Amino acid sequence: GRVARRKPFLTKKNIQAWLNFAKTHLKSPKSMWGKVLWCDETKVELFGHNSKIYVWRKNITAYHQKEHHTTVKHGGGSIMLWGCFSSSGTGAFVKVEGIIYSSKYQSILAQNLQASARKLNMRRNFIFQHDNNPKPTSKSTKE
C-alpha cells in the first residue's frame, strides 16, 4: 500500500489571497526580494511524526531491524519554534513556550525581528512577510 500525500487545506479565500499576492509581485524586481524578511512558526515532533509509515516487506521480515519504525509511549512530545530568514540567510530561531497568543507573538517580534534584520544586513525599510495567521494580523500586533 501507499500513504496518501499530505497537503494543506486551502479555502477559496486562501487561494485568492495567494493569487493576488502572485499577481501583485509578478513584475517585482529581484532586488525587492532581498528586502523581504520571511517568518513563520512550526510545531516539531521530538520523536517521530504524526503520520503512518508504510514499508514494503515480506511477511517473514516483519521483525527485522530495518523494517521497524521506533516509537516511544505518548509520542515523545513536541516543541513550537519561531524563525525568520531572508535571501541573505537565517535570522533568529527561537523555542516558544506554551501557546502563541498575540501578546506572546508581539514579544517574540520585539526580541527577535530587528535583531534578525541587523544580523542579515537588512536596511530599516525591510518588508516583514508573515503567513496571515490571526496572531500577526491581530489589531494589537499591527499597532
The residue that leads in pLDDT, 42 or 74, is 42
Average the pLDDT over 49-72 and give the result.
Answer: 66
Classify the C-alpha dihedral 5-131-100-43 as positive or negative: positive
Domains, the chain, ordered by start: 29-142 (3.30.420.10)
CB 70 within 8 A of CB 100: no
pLDDT tens by residue, 96-129: 988 888 888 899 999 999 999 999 999 888 999 9
Q: Is residue 93 over pLDDT 90?
A: yes
The confidence score (pLDDT) of residue 67 equals 58
Give the DSSP letter string of 89-113. EEEEEEEE-S---HHHHHHHHHHHH
Task: Quick: pLDDT tens for 7-58.
Answer: 778 899 989 988 999 999 999 999 999 999 999 998 888 776 666 666 676 7
DSSP states along 2-63: -PPPP-----HHHHHHHHHHHHHTTT--HHHHTTEEEEEEEEEESSS-SS-------GGGTT
